[in-house]
Amino acid sequence: VSSPLGNVGLLIRNLVGEVGERIIVLLLESKEALSDEEIAEKLGLRINDVRKALYDLVKLGFVTYRRVTRRESYWHSYKWYTNEMMIAQAVLRRKREVLKKLMQRLEFEKENVFYVCPLDGSRYSFDEAFENYFRCPRCGSDLVEIDNRKIIENLERLIEKLRREIEQDEKALSSRPV
């Protein structure tokens, strides 16, 4: 499934859903900022779905808005817009968050030993296994230490790949004209 946003499209779709992705594409193509009513009309979506998606998009930094006040009625409305720079930065921020989580997970896997029951597959921390004399509290089988080297190797590979990606993104962003 390809995305009109290219190779970051899938990441964006995972984060903000299909509605969010369509709004981003529309705002990128639009020459002017759009109100939520205009977005809903152009995309054939319900206004509530659009507002909900816009809320997520703002929170994640993919779009922003400016407030428009109609002087005669003191009535506010919002106009939404984005640009490629904003999106690239939001994607980069997300990648940094994922990298942080992967590194925490790696640390956790490296620091902890887990045990598994070969009969029913239940998993225990070292402390739980120790308290039960390394026997499964459910069925009494001897617990086996889990070899998590594969998990650690996979995590290290993912971290390395993401680090390189972030480095490239940072370079690309810093060399862009403002």
Other Cβ atoms less than 10 A from the Cβ of 127: the count is 10
Least distance in Å: CB of 151 to Zn ion?
22
64 SS3 class: strand
Stretch that binds Zn ion, among 8-16, 20-28, 46-54, 115-123 (CB under 5 A): 115-123
Q: Is 138 in the site for Zn ion (CB under 5 A)?
A: yes
# residues contacting Zn ion (CB under 5 A) = 7
Q: C-alpha angle 59/73/64, rounded to 5°?
A: 15
Stretch that binds Zn ion, among 17-25, 47-55, 80-88, 132-140 (CB under 5 A): 132-140
Q: Is 129 in the site for Zn ion (CB under 5 A)?
A: no
For Zn ion, the closer of residues 35 and 122 by Cβ is 122
Sheet with 75-81: strands ordered across? 34-35, 75-81, 64-70
Q: Is 120 in the site for Zn ion (CB under 5 A)?
A: yes
d(CA 170, CA 123): 40
71 SS3 class: coil
Which of 113, 139, 172, 173 is in the footprint of Zn ion by CB under 5 A? Answer: 139
Pick from 167, 165, 171, 178: nearest CA to 8: 165
Q: Is 123 in the site for Zn ion (CB under 5 A)?
A: no
For Zn ion, the closer of residues 139 and 172 by Cβ is 139
Do 113 and 152 touch, CB atoms closer than 8 A? Answer: no
Q: Is 135 in the site for Zn ion (CB under 5 A)?
A: no
Q: Is 119 in the site for Zn ion (CB under 5 A)?
A: yes
List contacts with Zn ion (CB under 5 A). Answer: 117, 119-120, 136, 138-139, 141
